[in-house]
Structure 1
Amino acid sequence: LGRMGIFGGASVNRSFERDLFLQFDYNNGVPFLKDLFLKKLGFSPSFQLAGYNVTRKTEADLVAGLDTIPVDVTYDLLQFEFGMAFKIINANHNMRAGFTFSSYSSKLSTFVIPSINRQVSASSTNYFTGRDLSLTYSYSSFLPNKHDDINPIGRYFRLKYDYEINDLNPELVIDDQGNVTESFEKAKFHRLEGDLLQGFGLFNNSHSLSLRLRGGTIFGPEQDNFFDFYASGFPNMKGYPFYAIGGNRYATANLTYRFPLATNLDFKFLQFYFDKLYFSVYGDIGNAWYNKATKLKEMKKDIGFELRLLTYSYYVYPTAFTFNASYGLDEFSRIFPSTTGEQKTVTYGKEWRFYFTMLFGFDFLVENINKIRF
């Protein structure tokens, strides 16, 4: 039981945009030479193979001479991942080695050039091909108590190294014989990212104070913003949209105080059995930058609060509701290219942002948070 598993999903909307994924897990060690790997070496890894395909459609303006022509564009993202995970030292320490292959393409629909009344056939361009070798170490140790599902206390640490070999943004090149080929921008670099969460129990562990530090860097010369880290959005600084704070390097710090509003609700509504309700307040500080190091006065800040409600569906399945509200304390602007070729200025901050989730657990951004105990 649990030695092998297949998990997949598919969704298509009215615009025929699709989200597809398929994941295969093998948790029975090395499938050959078991006496050597398991009995003699004590090595019993788990393997995972996964594939993802996402398409999105949008509209863009194509400039052809004096004509500006609206065209439909379809983006197609295809990705395959292979990983091997295993324990080291003891059950608290985990390693994962992986390889990821990505292929992103865009397709222009058929359009007509009005000035010459000529129809141009649909075309497709593969604008990104990526290969990523990764090695991840993680440590997880949390104190067992009756509220650890909603108010975890303990430590989590994760360090991930990537070596990426990428081809990006092709250009058409015509040689002396008139042959047309695509020439890609090469992007090879090393990437390192770290994540530390430390939760301290207060008042007999019913309250908690947690500190979370995150950071990452791309080594070497500045890389295209396609490869940026993002310090904002729901996974990080919630007071700003995801693409607001990006760069080749980033660092953030979060301080959260969490306490119970009710720990024994004990009532049922529809299929939900209500168990406990927690409230937290938090603040973030951080920034993202390129080769020139950021200064303290350039750091962005936000504050917010979160409600966590733990219920069980049909008395069996944990169902975690979260409502989060965050306010960006700093106002700033970024310039982005637009589909018309012009630059667009977007202003962020000084506004409330709200998030709602309904999942099986709360800390889904921290892997294995409730699997490893002291």
Structure 2
Amino acid sequence: GIGNESVYNAGFALSKYLSVKYGSESLKKIMASLSKPMNYSINKGMKYGTGKEGKKVYDEFVTVLETRYETLTQSVLENEVKGRIIQDNGSANLFPTWNEDGSKIAFLSNKDHDYFGSTDLFIYDMKTKDLKKIAKGIYSKPAWNKNVIYYSKKAMKPNKVGSRYYDLYEYNFRTKKEFQITRDGRAFSPVFSSNDSTLFYLSTKDGTHNIFKIDLNSKFTEQMTRLNNREILGGLNYDMKNNRLIYDITTHHFKDIHYLSLADSKSGGMMENALWDERQADFISKGMVYSDDRSGIFNLYFIGKDSQGYLTNVPGGAFMADVHKSGKIAYSLFENGAYKIAILDSISMMSDSNVGYTPLYFQRNKNLSAPMKEKIDIGPSKYKDHFPPMFTMPRVTMDYGTFKPGFYFYSSEILEKVSLIGGASVNRSIDLDLFFLFEYKHLYPTYFFEMFYLTRNTEERTAYSVYNLDSNLKFRLIEFRGGLRIPFYGSSFELFGSWSRYRASIKDEVVGKPQLQSGFGYDYFLGNKAGVKWSLKQYKKRIDQNINPVGYELNVNVAQEWNQFIEGLDLSESGTLISKFNKHNLVRSEINGKYLWDIPKTNRWTLSMGGQVGWISNTSADSFFHFFAGGMPGLKGYPFYSLEGTNMAIGELGLRIPLFREKHISMGWFMLQHATIGFIGQSGDAWNRVISSFSAKHSAGIELRFSGYSFYNYPTSISLEYHRGLNKFQMDIGDGKPIQYGGENRMYFTILFGF
């Protein structure tokens, strides 16, 4: 899109400027400075590389560009010809196409979307000026056929392996219904031929572009070309007068215009200049119109039987011309960083001398390196995994009042066929957190393996008879989890199994007499689990998707658990302490989901509705295996363990309002981009269905979100939440001292990769 291209162009221009003015060694110095662990500022790196503050260097660079551009475009601005603009909402308004009588124009637009490629199909009425959206997610130029229009888009629902390809569709304006023409065809750029009710289109396969046709009556598909040298095709069109297809082709640096005769299947070049680019030709009885950049700027050019010349003179660019038989031309005008739909009311040519930077600007291309045409004979070999160097990132947490530093490590194979991520952290009590996640994607299912290892150490002073004891308690939790994930029509099935062991140990020492000590260890939980998880997610792609998403997701999790939980300690035949277990086997079922949507006529205010329910089959299972419905995963106004039971139900409503978007506020290594404020209301409960019933508890809260990037690359999401439980209730944990919950304020603070 425009953003990616602009970043590339600006970066290349800045690098060239630095190299010319400050020497090529300045680039090396800047990169060396940026690679230092404690330098998070490009400004500081520029200072080291050039001797000047980065902001000053950048201002000088911008001044040079502006001065050069003003000089080059002075004649263009004084003699500008662009017609009239009919659509300028959005940054990508593309492929305008007249209907037969010239009363309507179909075009693609990313109006109401953030990204260049998120385009919908619109119809503009020339008489009423009305604009109507016909279809979403359209790609490439549409084609009219009276009351039907053809276009290309990805299917709404993926196929059974989770892939979504571009296919051809038709929309009937009378029935207002859409019909899919191809299936997994990788098809785009349709062209309709009324001679034989045929659609011609482009398709990709194995890195090649070729022209195909499909008979709309028989649905028979035929490949028209056999290009196999990685040519890139585009701009497919139909020349009715000469009964041939016209298309753009890129073989090396420039685009050229070629033809394919439908009468005898001959093909060849029409416009193939070696020093400039020609593209997107359209034909009428008087001649042809196309776009070229021989003057340094893309403008529309007309070639007729007796005359030829430029039709536009714009400072940005003129593309994608579509000529009606009346002589009116609709095209896409690039101006001020966006593509707009413009119309020329007639074919009127101008002098070449005032067009673009200069009529001879193309001569700058004479010294371009020659295309590399020689083939390199390299025998085929089996692909081997290629891993870049391991990424590491510091990790700092405050956990149960202790400072716990650590690190993350991550590496992914270049094609993401294999990936691994892990982390470790430890505090002064030698409480250790380790995790490791591994994914293998070489085969149809994704295989995964996960490992978690945690230790906790605590000390307390107790008394036994007349002795004071220092008791050191240690807990060790270890779990291995593995399985496979299978795509299924846009959703994902996960088959998993896990193995868990929780162990505790106690060491007692008489205070003042370290030689008098005793200790023992025991397992208190042995668990195995097997289950299936189904997940469906669909979110609109937009620039603030992470912090303020719009869409929905649904997760269903069902697992059989074989649990053994300690009942007490017993003596073995050899006189050692062993754990005595009870079985707590059960089936655990959980469903959770949420739906988020924009509030119309607001600046991206979003409403959200979500919920989660849970059910355990074994009502006599120990509370260790119950659902806990408080804390961050549940009702946030109450502590995690305050709500527990064999059943759980929670509902949530929320409102999120953007505070700002697309800012770039530098804060050391962190670049702040977006911020929102949210208001959250929750209601729910967890209960044991045998001894109690559902009794709704309510919670209300507010959340501030901030998102951006750390160290130029890592997404960083910061959340600060304040919640209050609105109901008061008591819980007896068995010691005869009821604990009261509710009516208290609770705060949550997180720094993660996402929300």
Shorter-chain TM-score range:
0.7 to 0.9
Higher strand share: 1
Q: Deviations over 1:293-335 (max 9, x none)?
A: 7656x21111011111122234433222111111111122223
Alignment-derived partner of residue 196 in structure 1? 593
Instruction: Report if the CA contact (8 A) 1:165-1:187 is conserved.
Output: yes
Which 5+ residue runs of structure 2 have no aligned equivalent? Answer: 1-413
Alignment-derived partner of residue 127 in structure 1? 524
Q: Are 2:480 and 1:80 aligned? A: yes
* 3-state SS of 1:243 partner: helix
The alpha-carbon deviation at position 63 of structure 1 amounts to 7.8
Question: Cα gap change, 1:7/1:109 in structure 2, threshold over 3 Å: closer, same or farther?
Answer: same
Residues 342-357 of structure 1 mapped to structure 2, 5 A cutoff = 342=735, 344-357=737-750
Instruction: Report if the CA contact (8 A) 1:288-1:294 is conserved.
Output: no
Q: Are 2:653 and 1:260 aligned? A: no
Matched residue type, 2:600: F
The alpha-carbon deviation at position 122 of structure 1 amounts to 1.4
Matched residue type, 2:482: F
Answer 1 or 2: higher relative contact order, Cα 8 Å, separation at least 6: 1
Q: Which moved more, 1:142-151 or 1:162-171?
A: 142-151
Alignment-derived partner of residue 212 in structure 1? 610
* 3-state SS of 2:528 partner: strand
Instruction: Report if the CA contact (8 A) 2:585-2:618 is conserved.
Output: no
Residues of 2 paired with 1:122 and 1:291: CA distance?
41
For this pair of structures, how many residues does the alignment match?
339
Matched residue type, 2:744: E
- The TM-score, its normalising length taken from structure 1, stands at 0.82
Q: Deviations over 1:188-208 (max 9, x none)?
A: 111100102111221257111
Residues of 1 paired with 2:499 and 2:578: CA distance?
23
Alignment-derived partner of residue 631 in structure 2? 233
Matched residue type, 1:136: K
Alignment-derived partner of residue 251 in structure 2? none
* 3-state SS of 1:109 partner: strand
Instruction: Report if the CA contact (8 A) 2:643-2:685 is conserved.
Output: yes
Matched residue type, 1:241: P
Residues of 1 paired with 2:609 and 2:691: CA distance?
23
Residues of 2 paired with 1:234 and 1:75: CA distance?
24
Question: Cα gap change, 1:176/1:288 in structure 2, threshold over 3 Å: closer, same or farther?
Answer: same
The alpha-carbon deviation at position 64 of structure 1 amounts to 5.8
Matched residue type, 2:752: L
Residues 246-257 of structure 1 mapped to structure 2, 5 A cutoff = 246-257=644-655
Residues of 1 paired with 2:577 and 2:673: CA distance?
65
Quote the sequence identity (%).
28
Question: Cα gap change, 1:301/1:68 in structure 2, threshold over 3 Å: closer, same or farther?
Answer: farther
* 3-state SS of 1:14 partner: coil
- The TM-score, its normalising length taken from structure 2, stands at 0.42
Q: Deviations over 1:253-312 (max 9, x none)?
A: 01001111222433323233222211110100000001237656x211110111111222
Residues of 1 paired with 2:658 and 2:507: CA distance?
55
Residues of 1 paired with 2:574 and 2:474: CA distance?
33
Alignment-derived partner of residue 667 in structure 2? 269
**Bigger-Rg structure (1/2):** 2
Question: Cα gap change, 1:356/1:171 in structure 2, threshold over 3 Å: closer, same or farther?
Answer: closer
Residues of 2 paired with 1:49 and 1:332: CA distance?
42
Residues of 2 paired with 1:177 and 1:295: CA distance?
48
The alpha-carbon deviation at position 111 of structure 1 amounts to 3.2
Alignment-derived partner of residue 422 in structure 2? 8
Q: Deviations over 1:137-174 (max 9, x none)?
A: 01111122333222111110001011011111143456
Residues 280-359 of structure 1 mapped to structure 2, 5 A cutoff = 280-292=678-690, 295=693, 298-336=695-733, 342=735, 344-359=737-752
* 3-state SS of 1:308 partner: strand
Residues 65-104 of structure 1 mapped to structure 2, 5 A cutoff = 69=469, 71-88=471-488, 90=489, 92-104=490-502
Question: Cα gap change, 1:145/1:6 in structure 2, threshold over 3 Å: closer, same or farther?
Answer: closer
Q: Are 2:742 and 1:361 aligned? A: no
Instruction: Report if the CA contact (8 A) 1:287-1:294 is conserved.
Output: no
Instruction: Report if the CA contact (8 A) 1:113-1:120 is conserved.
Output: no
Higher helix share: 2
Q: Which moved more, 1:190-199 or 1:309-318?
A: 309-318
Instruction: Report if the CA contact (8 A) 1:77-1:105 is conserved.
Output: yes
Matched residue type, 2:623: N
* 3-state SS of 1:147 partner: coil
